[in-house]
Structure 1
Amino acid sequence: MAKGKYHEWLTPEGLALLEGWARDGLTDEQIADNMGIKRPTLYEWKKRYPDISDTLKKGKEVIDRHVENALLKRALGYRYDEVTREPGTVEDEETGELKQVMVETKRVTKEVQGDTTAQIFWLKNRKPEQWRDKQDVQHSGSVNVNNPYKDLTTDELRKLIRDG
């Protein structure tokens, strides 16, 4: 690795590439590979050069927001229009010439129901106190156990087992 290779990544062009790769969903390992360095070197550069770290965070934040929005949309359900188009002919208003275009022939509004798996995932992560599988239960007071063998010695217990 050439000394000072980080300089090219601190330029506006280099930072734009890093942000784009992060926005595209590449992992740090893939980004490091694209940069021609090893992952530990990228981690070191992120610590040493705030521009690199901030740029990668900014790029990842964009795609994270898109995924969050898609998850929420899927959890709640949504409507969309399904449009059918077929080739058709229209007259150009300026020239009077006939042009081939795709003409909308049918539009149907469809509904996608909310997805319970997406809802559960969202709630477990956003409201873990109420929705996580593991619940913390506290007990106060005492538990009374009636153990008829509690006062016996080890030898007495062995004799009971042997004589059965």
Structure 2
Amino acid sequence: MSGQASRSDEKKRGRGRPFTYRAEFAGQAKKLCELGATDFELGEFFDVDIRTIYRWKHDHSEFAEALAVGKESLDERVERSLYQRAVGYSFDSEKVFHFQGLITRAPIVEHVPPDPGAAMLWLKNRRGDKWRDKQDHAHSGPDGGPIKTESTISLTDAPIEVLKYLASQVAK
């Protein structure tokens, strides 16, 4: 795993106090993060528990900064790749042909078309105000007040029994 301790040393020391932090750990951790290592994988590399990694980040600002810088460069690479996938890209390639026992190599330019899923993900994150799935709907009346409803009934064609009943109800 790392040069810090072998498996036989781990058996000897048990699960006691973790290794003492050393300044060179920051540089090593930065390089590992640039390669995509997670905090858990850093713990495996340094042969310590993940809680020790958290403690080192809290106690040693240079270690925390190294992890942030290492992870940031990887995030930027993923962001560039997502953008390229969203808009499409071309790259130089080579086509190999086999005809009548002869192998021929021909340089070509291949094109990867834009990916609508990547474009939507990009737009939702970069322009969420215009592209997000969630839409806000107002459930209020003018100027934020309550919604008022109004019903009108035409009684001109109502049977006489209905009109008498309504008149008796109004009189009460």
Q: TM-score, normalised by structure 1?
A: 0.67
Could you say what the CA RMSD is over the residues aligned between the two structures, in angstroms? 2.2
**Contact 2:29/2:67, CA 8 A, preserved across alignment:** yes
Residue-pair matches, total = 125
Gaps of 5+ in 2: 1-15, 98-103, 142-146, 152-172
**Paired position in structure 2 for 1:149:** none
In the alignment, the residues of structure 1 paired with residue 87 and residue 47 of structure 2 have an alpha-carbon distance, to the nearest angstrom, of 43
**Paired position in structure 2 for 1:54:** 65
Asked if 1:115 corresponds to 2:111, the answer is no
In the alignment, the residues of structure 2 paired with residue 106 and residue 78 of structure 1 have an alpha-carbon distance, to the nearest angstrom, of 20
Q: Identity of counterpart residues, as a percentage?
A: 30
CA offsets 1:116-141 (integer angstroms, 9 cap, x no match):
00001111111112111111122331
Aligned-residue offset at 1:111: 1.4
In the alignment, the residues of structure 1 paired with residue 84 and residue 125 of structure 2 have an alpha-carbon distance, to the nearest angstrom, of 16
Question: Structure 2: which amino acid aligns with 1:108?
Answer: I
CA offsets 1:87-118 (integer angstroms, 9 cap, x no match):
xxxxxxxxxxxxxxxxx841111211100000
Moved over 6 A (4+): none
- Whichever of the two has the greater Rg, that structure is 2
**Paired position in structure 2 for 1:136:** 136
More strand by share: 1
Question: Structure 2: which amino acid aligns with 1:6?
Answer: Y
Q: TM-score, normalised by structure 2?
A: 0.65
Gaps of 5+ in 1: 87-103, 147-164
Aligned-residue offset at 1:42: 1.2
Q: Which has the higher contact order (CA 8 A, sep 6+)?
A: 1
